[in-house]
């Protein structure tokens, strides 16, 4: 069964099959803006995309997948951050790019084959803007910026179905939906129409030394956000790509704008398939920087949560359904991972029936039904391991990106007095002095530690809350 994914454009599931003669599947995934640490919500999307990447590799072969994920390293936020910290833009974005890479690696995400950055593709973007200007799809405003003329593209709104946005904007304002919006980054008032969006932003004093020569007739400045994806996608994957993905919040306006730019410039269909993963919620609300209800991987790691537990917790929800993240889901994940690990160990290198895992793979192939796949997996794990094929189990683990290597025990300092109590208890136990041993165990427990006996010794762990 070929991998089927819901297509946001046609609003129906569609198989992922290469459309180019070389059989290489072209996959573009909108990446992060590198100005601070990405949060778990962001990583949900990247983990889901990693799943797509892995399944494609399994289905088509690793050499038949070209996965591109961009880095937005110039925009209002990156520039503001650099200014606030008195650093160069490059210095700031390099730091957060490295952090992003480290976080992705810890979560077991395969690196994309190509990771283009906006600032190293200025020429491509400028060229594209010039074509759009020549074709009458873009215009230079009085301030030297360049805008895309939405009314010049009939297909505008087909993805997000907001064709009459302009008319309805009034309603939105009345409904009070713009009260908390950050208006500092809104395009200038130089636009001919409210729905037009910036392709090129003329330099402003607060941009400091961040500027490049603009398209013909435009001022020096920097590219607008949307154009980078159109330009980099075109350069690395061609005019028409097989799949374009991102979080649901990118559906409008980002992806709508990308379609407009690319199709007007290239004169061909931009993407055959659009896929959007849903948001991660915290306390029922979207995890976001503006709400301040986010968790970064560092925060979670400091609390003692392993990256694999995080990945598992993200996999528990269907990618196209909002998932309410809780710390409790992490302890649940740790247990589940342990069960899987024990089962895998019991398997050794035995071979067995390959078909056992069919339900797992078919769930995965059916629109990335990770909860269904996990359910099917545990149905197997709950049975006798005999007859289970270890290599196929490993394929499942690869597909899910789960690394079952036992997490290293977090280095916790054991108080000397607790160690002393444990030693005394161990001695008492050896002497079969049960009353003394029990009394000492009670002392250790009240000190907040758990003493776990093994045949040849013992372990001390902080008592669970």
Partner RNA sequence: GGCGCGGUCGCCAAGUGGUAAGGCCGGGCUCUGCAAAAGCUCUAUCGGCGGUUCGAUUCCGCCCCGCGCCUCCA
Residues in the chain, total: 465
User: What is the C-alpha to C-alpha distance for residues 100 and 3, in angstroms, rounded to an integer?
Assistant: 28
Among 111, 154, 302, 321, contact with RNA (rule: CB under 7 A): 321
Residue 165 to residues 157, 190, 252: CA-CA distances in angstroms? Answer: 9, 19, 11
41 touches RNA by CB under 7 A: yes
374 touches RNA by CB under 7 A: yes
Stretch that binds RNA, among 94-102, 106-114, 246-254, 267-275 (CB under 7 A): 246-254
288 touches RNA by CB under 7 A: yes
223 touches RNA by CB under 7 A: no
* Residues of span 331-370 touching RNA by CB under 7 A: 331-332, 335-336, 338-339, 342-343, 363, 366, 369
* Residues of span 173-212 touching RNA by CB under 7 A: 175, 177-178, 181-183, 185-187, 194-197
Stretch that binds RNA, among 98-106, 114-122, 234-242, 375-383 (CB under 7 A): 375-383
397 touches RNA by CB under 7 A: no
* Packing angle, helices 122-134 and 256-266, rounded to 10: 70
Among 113, 204, 289, 395, contact with RNA (rule: CB under 7 A): 289
Interface map 249-268 toward RNA (x if CB under 7 A): xxxxxx--------------
CB of 276 to RNA, least distance (A): 7
Nearer to RNA, 24 or 263 (CB): 263
Place of tokens 């161990």: 426
297 touches RNA by CB under 7 A: no
CB of 63 to RNA, least distance (A): 27
Among 192, 298, 417, 453, contact with RNA (rule: CB under 7 A): 453
CB of 61 to RNA, least distance (A): 27
Nearer to RNA, 70 or 392 (CB): 70
CB neighbour list of residue 272: distance below 8 Å, 6 or more residues apart: 19, 240, 241, 242, 243
Strands 458-462 and 323-325: unpaired
* Residues of span 81-120 touching RNA by CB under 7 A: none
419 touches RNA by CB under 7 A: no
C-alpha closest to that of 204 among 118, 270, 143: 143
158: burial class by Cβ within 10 Å (0-12, 13-18, 19+)? middle
Nearer to RNA, 236 or 441 (CB): 441
User: What is the C-alpha to C-alpha distance for residues 223 and 215, in angstroms, rounded to an integer?
Assistant: 10
User: What is the C-alpha to C-alpha distance for residues 297 and 317, in angstroms, rounded to an integer?
Assistant: 19
Nearer to RNA, 162 or 269 (CB): 162
172 touches RNA by CB under 7 A: yes
CB of 21 to RNA, least distance (A): 31
C-alpha closest to that of 450 among 398, 394, 401, 412: 412
User: What is the C-alpha to C-alpha distance for residues 258 and 270, in angstroms, rounded to an integer?
Assistant: 8
Stretch that binds RNA, among 101-109, 261-269, 389-397, 430-438 (CB under 7 A): 430-438
Stretch that binds RNA, among 30-38, 52-60, 205-213, 414-422 (CB under 7 A): 30-38
User: What is the C-alpha to C-alpha distance for residues 206 and 190, in angstroms, rounded to an integer?
Assistant: 18
CB of 22 to RNA, least distance (A): 28
DSSP secondary structure, 316-363, as one string? TS-TTS-EEE-HHHHHHHHHHHHHHHHHHHHHTT---BGGGGHHHHHH
* Residues of span 55-84 touching RNA by CB under 7 A: 72, 75-77
CB of 160 to RNA, least distance (A): 7
What is the phi-psi region of residue 58: left when phi exceeds 0, alpha when psi lies from -120 to 50, beta otherwise?
Answer: alpha
Nearer to RNA, 73 or 196 (CB): 196
**Beta-bridge mates of residue 247:** 277
CB of 262 to RNA, least distance (A): 17
Among 204, 286, 395, 424, contact with RNA (rule: CB under 7 A): 286
Stretch that binds RNA, among 55-63, 157-165, 398-406, 407-415 (CB under 7 A): 157-165
Residue 8, CB-side half-sphere exposure with 13 Å CA sphere: 24
Helix (H) or strand (E) holding 265: helix 256-266
């Amino acid at each position: 069964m070929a991998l089927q994914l819901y297509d946001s454009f046609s609003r129906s599931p569609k198989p992922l099959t290469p459309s180019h003669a070389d059989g290489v599947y072209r996959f573009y995934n909108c990446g992060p803006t590198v100005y601070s640490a990405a949060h778990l919500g962001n990583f949900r999307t990247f983990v889901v995309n990693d799943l797509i990447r892995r399944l494609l590799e399994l289905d088509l072969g690793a050499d038949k997948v070209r996965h591109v994920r961009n880095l937005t390293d110039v925009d209002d936020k990156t520039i503001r951050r650099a200014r606030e910290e008195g650093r160069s833009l490059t210095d700031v974005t390099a730091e957060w790019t490295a952090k992003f890479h480290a976080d992705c690696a810890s979560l077991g995400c395969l690196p994309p084959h190509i990771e283009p950055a906006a600032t190293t593709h200025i020429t491509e973007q400028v060229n594209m803007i010039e074509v759009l200007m020549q074709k009458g799809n873009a215009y230079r405003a009085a301030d030297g910026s360049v805008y895309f003329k939405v009314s010049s593209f009939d297909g505008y709104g087909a993805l997000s179905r907001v064709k009459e946005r302009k008319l309805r904007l009034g309603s939105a304002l009345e409904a009070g939906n713009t009260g908390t919006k950050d208006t500092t980054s809104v395009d200038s008032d130089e636009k001919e129409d409210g729905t037009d969006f910036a392709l090129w932003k003329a330099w402003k004093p607060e941009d400091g030394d961040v500027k490049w020569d603009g398209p013909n007739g435009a001022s020096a400045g920097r590219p607008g956000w949307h154009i980078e994806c159109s330009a980099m996608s075109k350069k690395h994957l061609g005019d028409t790509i097989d799949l374009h993905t991102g979080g649901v919040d990118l559906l409008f306006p980002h992806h709508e704008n990308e379609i407009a730019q690319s199709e007007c410039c290239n004169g061909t269909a931009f993407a055959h398939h659009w896929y959007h993963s849903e948001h991660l919620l915290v306390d029922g609300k979207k995890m976001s920087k503006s709400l301040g209800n986010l968790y970064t991987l560092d925060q979670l790691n400091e609390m003692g949560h392993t990256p694999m537990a995080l990945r598992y917790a993200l996999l528990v929800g269907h990618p196209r359904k909002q998932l309410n993240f809780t710390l409790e889901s992490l302890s649940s994940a740790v247990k589940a991972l342990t069960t899987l690990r024990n089962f895998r160990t019991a398997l050794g290198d035995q071979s067995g029936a390959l078909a056992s895992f069919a339900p797992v793979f078919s769930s995965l192939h059916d629109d990335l039904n990770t909860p269904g796949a996990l359910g099917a997996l545990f149905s197997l794990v709950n049975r006798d391991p005999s007859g289970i094929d270890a290599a196929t189990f490993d394929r499942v683990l690869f597909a899910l990106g789960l690394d079952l290597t036992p997490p290293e025990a977090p280095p916790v300092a054991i108080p000397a007095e607790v160690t002393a109590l444990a030693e005394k208890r161990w001695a008492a136990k050896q002497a079969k002095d049960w009353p003394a041993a029990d009394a000492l165990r009670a002392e250790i427990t009240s000190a907040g530690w758990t003493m776990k006996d093994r045949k040849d010794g013992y372990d001390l762990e902080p008592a669970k809350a």
